[in-house]
Structure 1
Amino acid sequence: MSQETPETRLAALRSSIDNIDAALVHMLAERFRCTQEVGHLKAAHDMPPSDPAREARQIARLRSLAEEANLDPEFAEKWFNFVVAEVIHHHTRIAEDSE
């Protein structure tokens, strides 16, 4: 029975990481497609680009999910805040373009 070399294991782990990165990019693209639609809906109905109450609920939800997944909740919150800032920027631009 042959044992896996460190180089073989490293290549396998990197391949998995590459696949996960590709999936994350596709998931983020889908998320932004949905948030773009939300932005158009908000602009069409004169709704504000951000919803602080929803954002707070989402942060609590994601922190809980992160804890369950053994991921640093602080990291999950930072990631969410980064994404939400970009979404709000998109929503603001959409609203300005629809005026």
Structure 2
Amino acid sequence: MAPNDIPAADLETSADAAVLEQLHSIRQSIDNIDAAVVHMLAERFKFTQQVGRLKAAHGLPPADPEREREQIQRLRALAEESHLDPAFAEKFLNFIVAEVIHHHERIAGSTAEDRAS
């Protein structure tokens, strides 16, 4: 363990109250942002579910590579403007898009089953 790597359980005995209060405050901000990210992702998935149902109803493919390329370019630019690593933003979007496509495939499958019945 490096000299500055203090186990969390030992923080209270090794840091003064002001540092601990600041640490708690920063972590609370992180927790709030994490909650907002989860809520925003839930909202995003509500809309992508609508897209999936619309695509399935009209026989469109679950994936749209051109749209995905446009989104990657847009998010990379936003990341650069926000001083965030564009490669990280792209990986994050790719993860989300893969999940969206999976949802769209399931929707298309269930729509096809409904038509067959």
Residues 16-39 of structure 1: CA deviation (Å, up to 9, x unaligned): 001000000000000000000100
Task: Could you list the structure 1 runs, at least 4 aligned residues long, displaced by more than 2 angstroms after superposition.
Answer: none
Unaligned segments of structure 1, at least 5 residues: none
Partner of 1:88: 101
Aligned match of 2:39 in 11, 14, 26?
26
Q: Which amino acid aligns with 2:22?
A: R
Unaligned segments of structure 2, at least 5 residues: 1-16, 113-117
Aligned match of 2:53 in 15, 36, 40?
40
Number of positions where the alignment pairs a residue of Structure 1 with one of Structure 2: 96
Aligned identity (percent) is 65
- Rg larger in 1 or in 2? 2
Aligned match of 1:9 in 13, 18, 22?
22
Report deviation, 1:5.
1.2
Inter-partner Cα distance in structure 1 for 2:36 and 2:72 = 22
Higher relative contact order (CA 8 A, sep 6+): 1
Provide the aligned C-alpha RMSD in A: 0.8
TM-score, normalising length: structure 2: 0.81
Inter-partner Cα distance in structure 1 for 2:74 and 2:50 = 23
